[in-house]
Chain A
Amino acid sequence: MPGSASYAILLLGTLLEALVVVSALKRKVFRKYFVLNLYMALCLLVSWGRHYIIAHDGVSSLQYRYFYFYTDALLTIVLYFSLISLYISVFEEMKVGRYLRLGAVVLLAGTSWFSYAVVSQSSHKILTYFAFELSQNLYFVGLVLTYVLWAAVLKMRQTPALLIQLVLSLGIYFSFFAASYALSNLHPTLYSRVFYLFPVVGCLLPLSWAYAFWRVPNEVRLSPARLAMAAVPR
């Protein structure tokens, strides 16, 4: 992908991330979905750093790749906690927030340990590969957790449409990344091409969240069971 195209996609992503935060503030749901907005604010900072590196060293530079993977690992961890905040929001009435947080930390520690165990056997650049491996594993863990959350939401009679769209778009995002990493593990030669797709795919989450915050009224509620694939053929 040429440098100008990468730059344009990054710029678009940055604008969308800013739009998410602005929309949440405008709709007065910033505090309600604080961790999601914190993630978007961090994305904005990281995008600024990526703009800076692309402008100075180019998109094909090693600096960009290192910066991309270290910040991606950091952002994936924050996104993981955003997902946990959605869990807490869904199970608010059950007052299980403390257990969810504890479970999330234990699962994150387990994933980190597993990632370390994988890279420590096969690489001398442990820190770099650990960041890469951790992101990759967290995307899959996030995907499975989002699926479990969606399964729980499906059991509810009425759920805010905004929450449904936030959860589903997060699931789409996680599945895209988990599939991309799996594909590049299956065919390592494809990796250099898949890598250039990441920023494009990265725009999807801010786009769908910005849409949800901007357009979906908080008081609108949907019956999740009617949206599910399992309810499709009658």
Chain B
Amino acid sequence: MIAALILGCSIVFFLQFFVPYCRSLIAASSSHVLSPEVQDVTGLTTPASGEDFDRVVQLLRLCPDRPEDRGEIRAIGVYFGMLNFLTAVSRSIAPSVRTWTERERGRCTYFAAVALDRRVAFSRDLLAQQIEA
């Protein structure tokens, strides 16, 4: 009984920490202005739509990997999956929650585009260093 209670509390607490953690990662990238190249490639509208998330992540996977952003991209991927679930559940029950999830999904897409921008810049720097060497 106590173990079940602790398990339940832990799951609730986990969500209470995980969601703000993902939102803090997203907030840190929201002030980043995308380069014109990434805007062209992704074709993102303002504000970004959650529908584009998978496409931007596919583009992200085409770029050389950066170990330091791997964890945060994975965390946002899990958060995006949770938002998809919430969107599906809240469709008919709570329209206000759905509006919020749509906005959050769009912010996830923007986060992925910022990560893509950083990876492109990183690859460009790497190439420049190789040419100089």
Contacts and interface: CB of A to CB of B under 8 A. Distances in A.
Q: A210, A227, A234 — which one has the most chain B CB atoms within 10 A of its CB?
A: A227
A179 interface: yes
Nearest to A167: B17
B100 interface: yes
A182 B6 contact: yes
Contacts of A147: 13, 16-17
Given A179-B14, A222-B27, A140 B6 contact: yes
Nearest to A204: B71
Q: Is the interface of A mostly helix, strand, loop or mixed?
A: helix
B11 A175 contact: yes
Given A182-B6, A227-B23, A233-B97, A211 B15 contact: no
Contact of A171 (B6, B16, B72): B16
B13 A168 contact: no
Given A143-B13, A150-B16, A214-B68, A182 B7 contact: yes
A164 B22 CA distance: 11
Contact of B7 (A146, A183, A233): A183
Given A140-B6, A147-B16, A207-B71, A179 B11 contact: yes
Main secondary structure of the interface of B (DSSP, over half): helix
Interface in B78-98: 94, 96-97
Contacts of B33: none
Interface string B14-35: 1111111101110110000000
Contact of B17 (A150, A181, A183, A214): A150
Nearest to A207: B71
Contact of B72 (A182, A211, A227): A211
Nearest to A214: B68
Contacts of B71: 207-208, 211
Interface in B1-53: 3-4, 6-7, 9-11, 13-21, 23-25, 27-28
Interface string A48-86: 000000000000000000000000000000000000000
A211 B21 CA distance: 12
Contact of B10 (A143, A227, A232, A233): A143
Interface residues on A, range: 35 or more
A183 B6 CA distance: 9
A179 B96 CA distance: 31
Pick from B3, B7, B10, B15 the residue with the most CB of A within 10 Å. B10
Interface in A156-199: 161, 164-165, 168-169, 171-172, 174-176, 178-179, 181-183, 185-186
Contact of B24 (A144, A210, A227, A233): A227
Given A216-B28, A233-B94, A233-B96, A179 B20 contact: no
22 contacts: A144-B13, A150-B20, A165-B24, A168-B20, A168-B21, A171-B14, A172-B14, A175-B11, A175-B17, A178-B6, A179-B6, A182-B3, A182-B6, A182-B7, A185-B6, A207-B71, A222-B24, A224-B20, A226-B27, A227-B20, A232-B97, A232-B100
Interface of B: 3-4, 6-7, 9-11, 13-21, 23-25, 27-28, 68, 71-72, 94, 96-97, 100
Given A179-B14, A186-B7, A222-B24, 6 more contacts: A168-B20, A171-B21, A181-B6, A228-B20, A233-B100, A234-B96
